[in-house]
A and B are shown apart, each in its own frame.
Chain A
Amino acid sequence: MTPGRLSFFLLLAPLVLWLGLLIVIPHIDMALVSLRARVAPGEYTPSLQNYADFFTQPLYLVTFARTAIMSILATAITLIIGFPISYYIAKIAKGRSQASLFLMCLIPFWVSELVRTFGWIILLRETGVISGLLQWAGLADQPVEMLYNDSAMMLGLVYTSMLFMVVPLTTTLESLDDAVIEAGYDLGGNGFSVLREIVIPHAMPGIVSGCIVVFMLSLGNYLTPTMLGGKDSLWFTQLIYSQFIVRFNWELGAAFGFCLLGASSLIVWGMLRLTGQTLERTMGEGS
């Protein structure tokens, strides 16, 4: 073996060990577990029962659909709120204020998601700051509970994932030459048509990678729905958690895990296909 080949295999080994032992084999094992049913303690038979349960029990299916729809909604809201901010940072702010605005976007995300969620709890709950302010201002005559409902949860999801939208958007918008926008106006475009025909097409890679990451983070989120959501806003990850930790039904939990993985892969793949991007390019730019 030549030294070049030896060092190649030495470099290959950690990659293969990492991906094999922690990603590929565990997922295959999870698939196997999801495809079996327990007939007696310690005895299993191959079966599709877990997936059949998933598709026939309304609670599971409804929770799954709800989680997917709410995640899409959260992604859309994050995009709509984040786009003007990214545009402002990339195109309107200049020099030092540009750098510091960008940094200010990052700061909240250096702290744990738990701390951010805790912040919203302090603000929104019945004895919280906003309720107190409303009473003080005379707009409410008793404590107002704003926590434990879908809007609070949505607020939390959007807040938590904002960074992952703003950063890729700002990066792609910065690479748009001002002269192109000016040319659009010179050719008789107005603000709206320039936005639709020049700015948005140029920003597409950033929009795609932002949306993919935000969607995935929302779909797989556990903390925000648990802390801010109400009794009715059950999230699919909570079902997985309860099957694993509370009911100890790993077979069904693994099947749920695969459904979650399937949904998230499907949407990521669909968005990549729809916009002609690849995972390598999207992830390479996003970081």
Chain B
Amino acid sequence: MIPSIPQPRGVRLIYKAYVVAFFLWLALPLVAVSVFAFNDSQFPSLPWEGFTWGWFFGDARPQIGLFHERRILSSIWTSVFVAFWVSLLAVTVGTTNAFLFNRYSFRGRGFLYVLMLLPLVVPGIVLGISILIFSSRVAGTVQDLSGLYVEALRPGLPLVIAGQFSFITTIATLVISARLIKFDRSLEEAALNLGASPLTAVRTITIPYLMPALVGAFVVAFLMSFENFNTTLMLVGSDAPLTITMFDRLKEGSTPVLNAVSLLLMVGSGVLALVMISFQRR
């Protein structure tokens, strides 16, 4: 079943039809979501009532567009805030991890490496509840001992950031390690021979070499944080990120404003993906 081995035409046609059907199936729900963002009706469903931009820009009932809906706008900002901090922390720790595993051999290295991979195989909801339990125990202990109420340890954005960071860091580490392994150490040694201090050598030689991986890891972390649901669900407080807000809205029954948000998300992540790909090419 490779091009150099002849196959009956019928088999080839059926195979091709299957592949086409598969890609239609992949596209179907996304197309449906996008199309109904422009339906001039209260419900994202048939019949088609005509084209409108109202679910994006409308500012009066019954069509309040997403750019005039306070709850959605503020949860988009919450998501951006969370995703920014998660990505920044994950890339920072991912970089130090990559250097640690790449440059040092020490006792317990293999054990730590497996431990570092584990967050990927722990279900997100379990990560969420374990952090929830631990942080509220710490908060309780602090309160008993000193009487202080530590807001950051109660469900809310700091915990959401910690929860997402706990597994996204593994991915950032893997992305950055994959590029660091390919780095030619003699370039760094050349810098050292020319009189650079070790830190200067890493800053001026190794980090620029790693830049595509750092940007890639940042974008991947940002997108994963933005669309995370399971871990966030267990740790969220009163400021809900976008996925949680949309989930609550969907349960109430939806208007096409959710389609508009979804389309915006698709465009946003598409743009980010393009940015990343163009960085990788350089």
Asked if A244 contacts B117 (CB within 8 A), the reply is no
Q: Assess the A241–B233 pair: CB atoms within 8 A.
A: yes
Smallest CB gap from B92: residue in A = A14
Encoded as 1 (CB less than 8 Å from any B CB) or 0, chain A from 253 to 286 comes to: 1100100110011001000000000011001100
Cβ proximity bits A1-43 to B, threshold 8 Å, 1 near / 0 not: 0010001101110110011001111110110010000000000
| Per-position 1/0 for B199-238, Cβ under 8 A of A | 0000000000000000000000001001101100110000
Residues of A within 8 A of B187 (CB): none
State the Cβ distance, B175 to closest chain A Cβ, in Å.
7
Partner of B46, one of A113, A128, A191: A128
Kindly state the separation between the CA atoms of A264 and B126 in the bound complex, as whole angstroms. 11
Kindly state the separation between the CA atoms of A63 and B227 in the bound complex, as whole angstroms. Answer: 27
Please state if B166 and A87 are interface contacts (CB–CB under 8 Å).
Answer: no
Flag if A15 contacts B100 (CB, 8 Å): yes
Contact indicator A191/B45 (Cβ below 8 Å): no
Q: Kindly state whether residue A64 has any CB partner on chain B within 8 Å.
A: no
Most central of B29, B226, B258 by chain A CB within 10 Å: B29
Interface majority SS (helix, strand, loop, mixed), chain B: helix
A44 CB to nearest chain B CB (Å): 12
Contact of B2 with A111 in the complex, beta carbons under 8 Å? no
How many angstroms from the CA of A164 to the CA of B4 in the assembled complex?
29
B-chain residues with CB within 8 Å of residue A7 when the two chains form the complex? 198
> Does residue B5 face the partner (Cβ distance < 8 Å to A)?
yes
Judged by a CB distance under 8 angstroms, whether A132 is at the interface is yes
Set B1, B129, B227: member contacting A87, Cβ < 8 A: B1
Check A123–B96 contact: CB distance below 8 A. no
Residue B133, interface by CB 8 Å:
yes
B43: which A residues are within 8 A, CB to CB?
127
Contact mask B252-282 → A, CB, 8 Å, 1/0?
Answer: 0010001100100110011011000000000
> Which residues of the partner chain A approach B243 to less than 8 Å between Cβ atoms?
112, 114
CB of B93 within 8 A of chain A? yes
A222 touching B1 by the CB < 8 A rule?
Answer: no
Residues on A with C-beta less than 8 A from B183 are none
B53 interface contact, C-beta 8 A: no
B166 x A22 contact (CB < 8 A)? yes
- Determine which residue in B45, B174, B223, B270 has the highest number of CB atoms from chain A within 10 A of its CB, and name it: B45
| Of B59-67, B69-77, B106-114, B188-196, the one with at least 4 CB within 8 A of chain A | B106-114
CB < 8 Å neighbour of B133 from A30, A185, A260:
A30
Which one of A15, A27, A108 contacts B97 once the chains associate, using CB atoms below 8 Å? Answer: A15
What mask results when residues 104 to 137 of chain B are scored 1 for a CB within 8 Å of chain A, else 0?
A: 1010000011111111111111110111111101
Q: Is there a chain A Cβ closer than 8 Å to B171's Cβ?
A: yes
**A145 contacts the other chain (CB 8 A):** no
Verify if B246 is at the interface (C-beta below 8 Å from A): yes
Question: In the bound complex, do residue B30 and residue A116 qualify as a contact, i.e. CB atoms below 8 Å apart?
Answer: yes
Q: Name the segment of A48-56, A200-208, A212-220 touching the other chain.
A: A212-220
Contacts of B246 in A (CB 8 A): 114, 118
- On chain A, the number of residues with a Cβ less than 8 Å from chain B's Cβ atoms is 87
B269 & A111 in contact (Cβ 8 Å cutoff): yes
Q: Known contacts A220-B125, A220-B230, A283-B174; is A122 also within 8 Å of B265 by CB? A: no
Question: Would you give the shortest CB distance from B1 to chain A, in whole angstroms?
Answer: 6
The answer to whether residues A118 and B100 also contact, given A129-B46, A227-B250, A260-B123 and a CB cut-off of 8 A, is no
Docked-complex contact A84 and B18, CB < 8 angstroms: yes
Say yes or no for B162: interface residue by CB 8 A criterion: yes
Nearest to B261 among chain A residues (CB) is A115
State in angstroms the CA–CA spacing of A260 and B93 once bound together: 28
B145 interfacial by beta-carbon distance below 8 Å: no
The interface residues of chain A lying within 8 Å CB-to-CB of B123 are 216, 219-220, 237, 260-261, 264
A108 and B27: CB pair below 8 A? yes
Q: Which residues of A contact B262 (CB under 8 A)?
A: 111-112, 115, 118-119
A246 CB within 8 Å of chain B: no
Can you name the residue of chain A whose Cβ is closest to the Cβ of B29? Answer: A119
A14-B93, A91-B2, A261-B122 as given contacts; A159 in contact with B46, CB under 8 Å: no
Within 8 A of A (CB), among B1-46: 1-5, 7, 15, 18-19, 22-23, 25-33, 36, 43-46
Find chain B residues with CB under 8 A from A260 CB.
123, 125-126
A223 to B28 Cα, complex, angstroms: 19
A203 to B47, CA, bound (A): 47
Contacts of B115 in A (CB 8 A): 19, 23-24
Contact of B26 among A108, A127, A227, A284 (CB under 8 A): A108
**Interface residue A197 (Cβ < 8 Å from any Cβ of B):** no
Q: Please name 26 pairs of A and B residues whose Cβ atoms are closer than 8 Å in the assembled complex, sorted by A.
A: A7-B198, A19-B112, A19-B115, A22-B163, A26-B133, A91-B2, A94-B3, A104-B26, A107-B26, A120-B29, A122-B45, A122-B259, A123-B28, A123-B29, A125-B45, A181-B5, A185-B5, A216-B123, A220-B124, A220-B125, A237-B230, A241-B125, A244-B234, A257-B129, A264-B123, A280-B117
Q: Which B residues are closer than 8 A to A by beta carbons?
A: 1-5, 7, 15, 18-19, 22-23, 25-33, 36, 43-47, 92-93, 96-97, 99-100, 103-104, 106, 112-127, 129-135, 137, 162-163, 165-166, 169, 171, 174-175, 178, 198, 223, 226-227, 229-230, 233-234, 243, 246-247, 250, 254, 258-259, 262, 265-266, 269-270, 272-273
